[in-house]
Chain A
Amino acid sequence: MTRVALIGAGKMGISHLAILGAHPDVQVVGVADTSKIVTDVLGKYSNFECFADYQKMLDKTKPDAVFVAAPTKYHGTIVKELLNKGIHVFVEKPFCLSVNEGAELVALSKQKKLVTQVGYHNKFIGTFEEAKKIVSSGGIGEIEHFLGEAYGPVVVRKKQETWRSKPEEGGGCLLDYASHVIDLLNYLVAPIDKVHGAMLKSIYSGNVEDAVYALLETGNKISGVLQVNWSDETYRKMSTTITIIGSKGKIICDATEIKIYFKEADCPAPYTKGWNIKHINDFAEEVAFYLRGEEYSAQVDYFIKAIQGSVPNTKNNFESAWLTDSVIDKIKNKKNN
């Protein structure tokens, strides 16, 4: 039984908490949130012990692992404290607002030999996993170019401001939406190394960007385009699509289906020359408890298994999330030049 606590019970925190609450190998020992109404409701209707002050919670409950789903600007401080106490950490994405701070945390977690994970859940979606397999095995040959897109209806009119509309606190489409796409591209194609140009555009928001457009290049010279817009109401919910063009074929992949074109008959089984389409139900692995999508349960399960030592701590560890942070940083520095 792994003893787990949660810091930050907002949208993602509550979702993690429900999955942790139903996980057979997890005992939730505490929940910390600064919102009185949140701890009050949890205190009344659930069996979780709630705290307003996370430090008090850590001292009292001594968890093996902590899920951090507080606003991004607090990630650095909280995570450092946890690592210093020898606690395994799962933190929501994006990892850190500062690349230097992130690098320090990567080093600290390695030194302390702790399990770390960041909530880039797309890597636990069957279709993207299949894309990874095909690309890694050379199924579509040498990669020439990629396109990473995400659209959704988060900000579709001018509205009151929250921390999500403050760039210094981790708000904006780049940190919230585009981070997912960048992370997937780093994983599926190769780590992005250069940003040749970027435009961050506001559509409805006053202080942050609602759309991100960038021209990218990986360390091994693959070119790519990033196009992300969270003010697109033609989408019912966030929709992320990755297109990868290789010398032997092409992949178009989203969370529900993967379309693969192979130029030659010599392609990985069971695929055949020409277009192939597979859907998520061909890949989705059964989870013990389902909430919002298999990937949310699968990522929590992977983290718990990594702590227990039954899987390697390679997927979404701090190092991989730090690479994503550093691309975000490069886009920020290149914007509107």
Chain B
Amino acid sequence: MDRILFGDNQFFGVNHVSDEKSRAQAIKFKEDKTILKTIDIAIEEGINTFMCTTHDRIANVCDLIRLKPDQYKNFNIYPCMPYAHKYANAVTELGIVGTLKQYVPGNFFGSLFKGGMAFVSKDYMSMMELLIDAEMKMFKGINVPVIFIQNVLTDLLMGLGMKDILKEYHEYIIKKHNAEPGYITMNMPKLLDMLESVGIKNPIICSSINKDGFRMSGGKDLYEYTLKTRQVRAIAMQVLSGGATPAKEAIEYVCGLPNIESILFGASSRGNIHETVSLIHQFDQQKKIS
């Protein structure tokens, strides 16, 4: 994975510390081409990976990218699925079964019920596989070396103790999509324990890692200890903890930690993108020298 990954929250009005900023961003990025323009700025700043939700609008951005295959031939996308609010709103409205009926492609789900056939575990797994394939369609023809499960789903499966599903997901991503599976979580040390318990070694885990200890469940000390002593390919997100810590201090902290393979951040302006990239390079360089 690249050292720096570019995130997408800013494009869809996702801001964890201000609803008001969310709205301003949603207005700024109303047009799909404005999103691509910002991605182009990130590329100019040396970033080659875009990590994004499988939001409907990403499909449009992918269409734009496919129009210029030469320009984006070295560009990677790391999809994160599912876009949870789509399903969560549907569950509120249609219930769990109604939502599955709406989103599982084809007649798969209908036939399960109509036939009155017994549910066997393979059916649920193929349902999951169909949902993954459906979400992956939008990335056809684009380099997709790593595929992530969103934290709400990772953490839900973890809390429910559904480690076999995590394992199935892991194997399916490798086998069918020829990519590396990744996990986003708000509970990194706990997830690492669970993944290791089903034989998944040295997994790619993206989690909040920041100087403030914001959204680091189990505690900052436990995260630091885990990074120091365990085998994990960590991606740090929310490194600026929503803008609470000055950027310089925040990046210095993350660059100083062991075992952080990549840093994920999102920004909407050239100035902010440039500043963050420069800070990461600066502190990486300092670490190398010392």
Question: Which residues 141-169 of B have a CB within 8 angstroms of A?
Answer: 152, 155-156, 158-162, 164-165
A22 to B287, CA, bound (A): 37
Residue pair A37, B97 in contact (C-beta under 8 Å): yes
Residues in B neighbouring A269, C-beta threshold 8 A? none
Name the contact of A291 in the complex, choosing from B95, B155, B164 (C-beta under 8 A).
B155
**With an 8 A cutoff between CB atoms, is B2 at the interface?**
no
Residues in B neighbouring A162, C-beta threshold 8 A? 93-95, 98
Closest chain B residue to A257 by CB distance?
B18
Residue pair B218, A288 in contact (C-beta under 8 Å): yes
Closest chain B residue to A291 by CB distance?
B155
Residues in A neighbouring B89, C-beta threshold 8 A? 153-154, 237
Binds B, one of A75-83, A97-105, A278-286: A278-286
A289 to B157, CA, bound (A): 13
Residue pair A282, B156 in contact (C-beta under 8 Å): no
Residues in A neighbouring B162, C-beta threshold 8 A? 45-46
Residue pair B98, A289 in contact (C-beta under 8 Å): no
Name the contact of A289 in the complex, choosing from B91, B121, B217 (C-beta under 8 A).
B217
Residue pair B159, A256 in contact (C-beta under 8 Å): no
Residue pair B18, A291 in contact (C-beta under 8 Å): no
Residue pair B242, A21 in contact (C-beta under 8 Å): no
The residue in A47, A236, A255 that gathers the most chain B C-beta atoms within 10 A of its C-beta is A236
Residue pair B85, A11 in contact (C-beta under 8 Å): no
Question: Which residues 64-95 of B have a CB within 8 angstroms of A?
Answer: 85, 88-89, 91-95
Name the contact of B19 in the complex, choosing from A22, A159, A257 (C-beta under 8 A).
A257
Residue pair A42, B160 in contact (C-beta under 8 Å): yes
**With an 8 A cutoff between CB atoms, is B12 at the interface?**
yes
**With an 8 A cutoff between CB atoms, is B213 at the interface?**
yes
CB distance from A33 to the nearest CB of B (A): 10
Residues in B neighbouring A35, C-beta threshold 8 A? 96-97
Name the contact of A254 in the complex, choosing from B19, B85, B96, B97 (C-beta under 8 A).
B19
A46 to B163, CA, bound (A): 8
B interface footprint on A202-238 (CB within 8 Å = 1, 0 otherwise): 0000000000000000000000000000000010110
Name the contact of A288 in the complex, choosing from B92, B217, B242 (C-beta under 8 A).
B217
Question: Which residues 162-189 of A have a CB within 8 angstroms of B?
Answer: 162, 164, 176
Name the contact of A45 in the complex, choosing from B94, B165, B242, B244 (C-beta under 8 A).
B165
CB distance from A203 to the nearest CB of B (A): 14
**With an 8 A cutoff between CB atoms, is B108 at the interface?**
no
**With an 8 A cutoff between CB atoms, is A313 at the interface?**
no
Closest chain B residue to A294 by CB distance?
B215
CB distance from A156 to the nearest CB of B (A): 8
**With an 8 A cutoff between CB atoms, is A60 at the interface?**
no
Residue pair B160, A14 in contact (C-beta under 8 Å): yes
Closest chain A residue to B168 by CB distance?
A45
Q: A18-B156, A256-B19 are in contact. Are A46 and B161 (CB under 8 A)?
A: yes
**With an 8 A cutoff between CB atoms, is A40 at the interface?**
yes
**With an 8 A cutoff between CB atoms, is A155 at the interface?**
yes
B interface footprint on A267-302 (CB within 8 Å = 1, 0 otherwise): 000000000000111101011111110000000000
CB distance from B126 to the nearest CB of A (A): 13
Residues in A neighbouring B158, C-beta threshold 8 A? 18, 22
**With an 8 A cutoff between CB atoms, is A15 at the interface?**
yes
Residue pair A155, B97 in contact (C-beta under 8 Å): no
A interface footprint on B179-194 (CB within 8 Å = 1, 0 otherwise): 0000000110010000
Residue pair B94, A159 in contact (C-beta under 8 Å): yes
A36 to B174, CA, bound (A): 31
CB distance from B60 to the nearest CB of A (A): 17
Residues in A neighbouring B121, C-beta threshold 8 A? 44-45
A interface footprint on B3-47 (CB within 8 Å = 1, 0 otherwise): 000000000111111111011001000000000000000000000
Residue pair B161, A256 in contact (C-beta under 8 Å): no
A257 to B242, CA, bound (A): 12
Question: Which residues 179-221 of B have a CB within 8 angstroms of A?
Answer: 186-187, 190, 212-219
A176 to B89, CA, bound (A): 13
Name the contact of A21 in the complex, choosing from B96, B160, B215 (C-beta under 8 A).
B160
CB distance from B198 to the nearest CB of A (A): 12
Residue pair B19, A10 in contact (C-beta under 8 Å): no
Closest chain B residue to A71 by CB distance?
B95
Q: A44-B124, A284-B214 are in contact. Are A154 and B17 (CB under 8 A)?
A: no
**With an 8 A cutoff between CB atoms, is A190 at the interface?**
no
**With an 8 A cutoff between CB atoms, is A137 at the interface?**
no
Residue pair A282, B244 in contact (C-beta under 8 Å): yes
List 15 extra interface pairs beyond A18-B156, A42-B160, A290-B155, CB under 8 A. A10-B95, A15-B156, A18-B159, A35-B96, A40-B119, A44-B121, A45-B124, A154-B89, A241-B19, A256-B19, A257-B18, A279-B243, A289-B190, A290-B186, A290-B187
